[in-house]
Amino acid sequence: MPKPRVLVVDDDHANLRTFRIVFRAEYDATLALSGDEALSELAAGSFDVALVDYAMPGMNGLELLVRMQRAHPEVGRVMVTGYPDHPELAEAARTGIAAAVVMKPWDRDALQRTLDEQVRIARARRAGASGGDAP
């Protein structure tokens, strides 16, 4: 089975590089610096999960997840933030816009468990939609 495809969206180059280095053995990561760039990547390819930073200029992470939920509901959606007390984040998790909210700095093992669970769910959704067996 191919590595899970993860779309990582963050306006900070260092955060993107860190993810790619830390998880290079586990995931096929595509990096995007903005919500618009992420939407272009989603239109061009298939992903299992998106890991999206909340605070970005232009389209913030929550706006991106809402658009993803409408256009790409099969993709798992995980929000990353350094703002744990923001009321929008609790609402996003409660309503399912974000399947999970992960605090920065993230713990490698906890983040991997979250991403792996979202990959499993996304692949099961796709298998169900195509009439196949879930992996």
101 forms bridges with which residues in the sheet?
79
How far is Cα 34 from Cα 55, in angstroms, rounded to an integer? 10
Type and span of the H or E element at 79:
strand 76-81
Percent of the chain clearing pLDDT 90 (strictly above)? 78
CATH homologous superfamily of 5-128: Response regulator (3.40.50.2300)
pLDDT beyond 80 at 133 = no
Q: Where are the domains of the chain?
A: 5-128
Q: Which DSSP symbol is given to 133?
A: -
pLDDT beyond 60 at 49 = yes
pLDDT beyond 80 at 95 = yes
The pTM of the full predicted model, rounded to 2 decimals, is: 0.91
How far is Cα 64 from Cα 98, in angstroms, rounded to an integer? 10
Q: Where residue 41 falls among pLDDT bands split at 50, 70, 90? A: very high
How far is Cα 26 from Cα 6, in angstroms, rounded to an integer? 10
Q: Where residue 135 falls among pLDDT bands split at 50, 70, 90? A: very low
